[in-house]
Chains A and B, each alone.
Chain A
Amino acid sequence: MDLKIIPLTISVFILHACVQHQSPLESNQVHEISDTIKVEYAEGFEVNYTGNFIQIISHSIANNSAFADTLEFPTAKVVPDLVGENVLAGQIENIACQSSTHVAFLSTLKSIDLVAGLCGMEYVQNSEINTTLAENNVAEICAAEQVDMEVLQKINTDLFLIYPFETEGKAKYDAAGIRTFFIAEYLEQTALARLEWIKLFGLITGKSKEANVYFEKAESEYLSLIRATKQVDSKFILNLPYKESWFMPSANSMIVNLIEDAGLTYYYPSSGITENETRSTEAVWNDAMYADYWIIMASRPVDFSLADLLTEEPVYKEFLSVKKNQVIFCNTATSDYFVQGVVEPQIILKDILLATGQVSNHQPKYFSLLK
């Protein structure tokens, strides 16, 4: 045998191995488009359609720490220009969520059965969702607020939806072969922008049409409520202190914008940032003498009353809002404000409008006047 054929064979083998093969995808790996997504309010994500794939990009807003993440779904069998690591071929069958708010979006789209792992299961107050999570044996993937990698790997998730708190965290998951995607809906500055993330969840779950229908209905209700709102010329402050610090939401935050949509004016002008601003309790005590409304979201016992609030700090009885009986309260221990509330901004708005006497015939779900 001619020995010259050996190096030739090896060279051919190496060359063959180096060529990038583009085998066509199987039918079940191609993403089905039920409806086209158009982003109108949200600033934290965008959707691009090409002939061959859908590209979703989530990114930072304004001056928040910069981050960006991309997810691509093939919509044709041959996709030559896809970037490998961002591609998710076929329908997702198994999702893990780092936030319970993700569950609210998935539940609204009737895709809760996709959830295989969740971080912070105890924060879900909705009994229906809790029952489903229990029935599906959904794994608690966090211990003491930290993701348990072993549990996460055990559930073998198709996609882990994560906070963009630390970009090195993503690298850790990549190294473990876990596909992740940044979800930062909490950075949105308006309620409709935050709700619009349901469209992104619709894309991920193949339920774009349902997402569009839900969003348009909620949007329409929300906008019609705004149109009916009167400018009531009243100022409001928010929440309660922790010891000497009062963490007041930024004037650019979603909750402040939502309450301002009800015709009230925030006591604190915008300082340009979106994070909570820390104020001393004595500064807020002073300001509260001039704020007509005091809107509180806090975890308290079921039958928490205005009298109970006043026992927490004697100065509260001097607040203008207390004197006017205009303390609006959302008990986060008994209502699902932090989860279900994300997908029901129109109900929150209506609650505020009812509490400020601008609408009637409404059963409050999250916020009501504290009596």
Chain B
Amino acid sequence: MLALGLSAIALLFALNLLLGDVSIPVSDIFTLLSGGEVENNSWSYIIESRLNRSIVAIFSGAALALSGIILQVYFRNPLAGPGVLGITSGASLGVAFIMLGGVGVVSFFGQIGVIVAGILGAVSVLFLLLLVSKFIHNAVTLLVIGLMFGYFTSAVIDVLFLWADLDETRAFVIWGMGSFEGLQTADLLLMCGIILLAIVSSAFLIKPMNALVLGSEYASSLGINLKVTKYLVILHTGVMAAIVTVYCGPISFIGVAVPQLVRLIWSSKNHFIQIPATLILGAALALLADLIVRVSGNTLPLNTVTALIGAPIIIYTIIKLNKKIA
């Protein structure tokens, strides 16, 4: 099954390189990928752009899906995810402070400022959520509070719009639609490096997650340090959701829908299986969404496509959950 998932990624990756508004012969694509030159100089940049975009999609999809499954296990709620719990909105707020704060703010802080602000925003929301979770143990209530955090940060962003000029507003609105496009190699390396680090270190969460499935008391009795686990959850999900949001905009549904899809396909509850499966499916879904965006001539925003794919999966999960409760 995992091999099938990897094959799907390979196929979608190839299609992403092949398809686009500019038709480039396959032989020229191979020439360019092997470091050769072709007649039209723009083609090497176009292929580099498609390549970067596909890599960004793979890493972003994997990171969001991984954040989703970690949060779903930790909060013991299948509808949790970086978007639902307000983490993405927190990152957006951080970005908005820089992007809508005037030309001076952007030039003073630069791209690093945007990244730091995004991570701070995401981690702050998650930290607040965990603080609240000390007093509220009902998972649904916590989810609603997460949603409220999301609304609150969105409202603050709306207030920031009042001070923004037309260019800043337009840039922020376009960023908000989500896109895997536009990252240059240096940013790509930074983003993928951080995500890779988070993915590798998330291996430390597999054992606690397997135990947490059966409840925090059971996990504690197995010797899981719940405090350390909490901070690892904050750090991993906050950093991953923030880095993707900063570079690609607030991408919805992948974080919630992919873990559901994994549970539908794989019956195993072992996170040694579920986490790799989530990474592969997250990457594949993001590549598919981006392919649809490209085939539509970039007329469909990425968030529209992820919603079209993700929303039915989530609805299906809710119906299934209701049946279980009934």
| Chain A contacts to B: CB under 8 angstroms | 122-123, 143-145, 242-245, 278-283, 285-286, 288-289, 299, 301, 314-315, 318
Contact = CB atoms under 8 A, between A and B. Distances in A.
Across chains A and B, which 10 residue pairs bring their CB atoms closest together, nearest first? A315-B45, A283-B21, A244-B181, A280-B21, A318-B41, A285-B42, A282-B46, A286-B22, A244-B298, A286-B42
Contacts of B175: 243
A283 B24 CA distance: 11
Of B41, B161, B175, most buried by chain A (CB within 10 Å of CB) is: B41
A289 B44 CA distance: 13
B299 A278 contact: yes
Contacts of B50: 282
B302 to A, nearest CB: 10
Contact of B298 (A122, A143, A245, A286): A245
Contact of B182 (A244, A288, A318): A244
A301 B297 CA distance: 32
Contacts of A280: 20-21, 297-298
Nearest to A246: B298
Contacts of A286: 22, 40, 42-43, 46
B57 to A, nearest CB: 13
B171 interface: yes
A243 B181 contact: yes
B42 A278 contact: no
Of A122, A144, A279, most buried by chain B (CB within 10 Å of CB) is: A144
A251 B165 CA distance: 28
Contact of A285 (B46, B161, B165): B46
Contacts of B167: 299
Interface string B21-32: 110000000000
A222 to B, nearest CB: 29
Given A281-B181, A285-B22, A299-B167, 17 more contacts: A143-B162, A145-B166, A245-B298, A281-B49, A282-B20, A282-B21, A282-B22, A282-B50, A285-B45, A285-B46, A286-B46, A289-B40, A315-B42, A315-B45, A318-B41, A318-B42, A318-B45
Of B45, B103, B175, most buried by chain A (CB within 10 Å of CB) is: B45
Given A278-B298, A318-B42, A283 B179 contact: no
B42 A289 contact: yes
Nearest to A279: B21
Contacts of A242: 170-171, 174
Contacts of B141: none
22 contacts: A144-B161, A242-B170, A243-B174, A243-B179, A243-B181, A244-B179, A279-B21, A280-B297, A282-B21, A282-B42, A282-B49, A282-B50, A285-B22, A286-B40, A286-B42, A286-B43, A286-B46, A288-B42, A289-B42, A301-B103, A314-B184, A318-B45
Nearest to B178: A243
A245 B294 CA distance: 11
Contacts of A318: 41-42, 45
Contacts of B21: 279-280, 282-283
Interface size grouping (class) on chain B: 20 to 34
Interface in B161-202: 161-162, 165-167, 170-171, 174-175, 179, 181-182, 184
A289 B49 contact: no
Contacts of B22: 282-283, 285-286
A123 B20 CA distance: 37
B53 to A, nearest CB: 9
A280 B296 CA distance: 11
A121 to B, nearest CB: 12
B226 to A, nearest CB: 42
Nearest to A244: B181
Interface in B2-53: 20-22, 40-43, 45-46, 49-50
A212 to B, nearest CB: 34
A288 B46 CA distance: 13
A301 B108 CA distance: 13
Nearest to B46: A282
A122 B165 contact: yes
Contacts of B46: 282, 285-286
A116 B223 CA distance: 73
A329 to B, nearest CB: 16
Contacts of A278: 298-299
A289 B41 contact: yes
Contacts of B166: 123, 145
Contacts of A283: 21-22
A218 to B, nearest CB: 28
Contacts of B20: 280, 282
Contacts of A299: 167
Contacts of B297: 280
B292 to A, nearest CB: 14
A299 B107 CA distance: 14
A165 to B, nearest CB: 15
A279 B42 CA distance: 16
A219 to B, nearest CB: 31
Contacts of B171: 242
Nearest to A143: B162
Given A278-B298, A318-B42, A243 B182 contact: yes
Contacts of B162: 143-144
B72 to A, nearest CB: 31
A154 B12 CA distance: 59
Contacts of A314: 45, 184
Interface string B274-308: 00000000000000000000000111000000000
A316 to B, nearest CB: 9
B248 to A, nearest CB: 10
